[in-house]
Amino acid sequence: MRKGSFNLHTIIDKRVLTDSTFVLRMARNGLKFSAGQHIQVGPPNGIHTREYSVYSTPKDDFIEILVREVEDGLVTPALKKLDVDDGVVINDAVGYFSIDKEVAPGRRFLFVASGTGISPFHSFVKTYPEIDYTLLHGVRWAEEAYERDEYNPNRYVACTSRDHKGDFHGRVTDYLAKNPVNPDTLCYLCGNCDMIYDVFDILEKQGVKSTNIFTEVYF
């Protein structure tokens, strides 16, 4: 059971997705969270932690995060070196990036992610499999369409800017310019701030009210 704010959780699985990206699965140890929230995670003997959206769902008996190593970063190279049976420190989940279950039925959702910004959307679609969503995933290369088989192929669009092996060649902003959204759509944006600013502008110009646009900025 959890005591205090930071707790040690044992890594029980590690999936390497690309040279720089991996999923860590940890024992849950009673950690409570709702889909879309984030936790602070760090190596067991360090003093530094960073925020990570929870990739798994509240129904799972484990907790997962999707991490991209930042070269010369303080925390991600240390997390990358960890393996099964190592520990990580994790604090309580926080954050307001969430879906209101009361308003979800009958609503259309647009999820726009850059890179590992897909993490909260993975948790959303696994937690609420009945929701009517389109997920735009902006990546450089098709191999960065992390675990795309987890999503309904009719709802997932990999927008690849550097190769032609995704579903759409170009950035998520190019896709949206060619495929305008219905103004009643509830729009969720997650990832780097440049993408979020650009997409926010496009959606507002397409008639989406700012109160229907929700954002989670990673860096």
Q: Which is nearer to ligand FAD, 57 or 183 (CB)?
A: 57
Q: Which of residues 47-76 bind ligand FAD (CB under 6 A)?
A: 50-53, 65-68, 70, 73-76
Phi, psi of 172 (to 5 degrees): -60, -30
Q: Which of 139, 83, 92 is nearest to 114 (CA)?
A: 139
Out of 9, 28, 38, 80, the residue judged to bind ligand FAD by CB under 6 A: 38
Q: Could you give the CA distance from residue 29 to residue 61 in angstroms, rounded to a whole number? A: 8
- Single-letter residue type at 97: F
Q: How far is the CB of 20 from ligand FAD (least distance, A)?
A: 9
Q: How far is the CB of 106 from ligand FAD (least distance, A)?
A: 29
Q: Which of residues 100-129 bind ligand FAD (CB under 6 A)?
A: 115-116, 119
Q: Which of 10, 7, 6, 215 is nearest to 114 (CA)?
A: 215
Based on the shown chain and the rule CB under 6 A, indicate whether residue 216 belongs to the binding site for ligand FAD.
yes
Q: Which of 145, 75, 80, 70 is nearest to 113 (CA)?
A: 145
In contact, 9 and 82? CB cutoff 8 Å: no
Residues 147-176: x where in contact with ligand FAD by CB under 6 A, - otherwise, as a string: ------------------------------
Could you write out the DSSP letters of every residue in 175-193?
Answer: HHHHSPPPTT-EEEEEE-H
Q: Which is nearer to ligand FAD, 120 or 166 (CB)?
A: 120
Residue numbers at the binding site for ligand FAD (CB under 6 A):
38, 50-53, 65-68, 70, 73-76, 115-116, 119, 216, 218-219
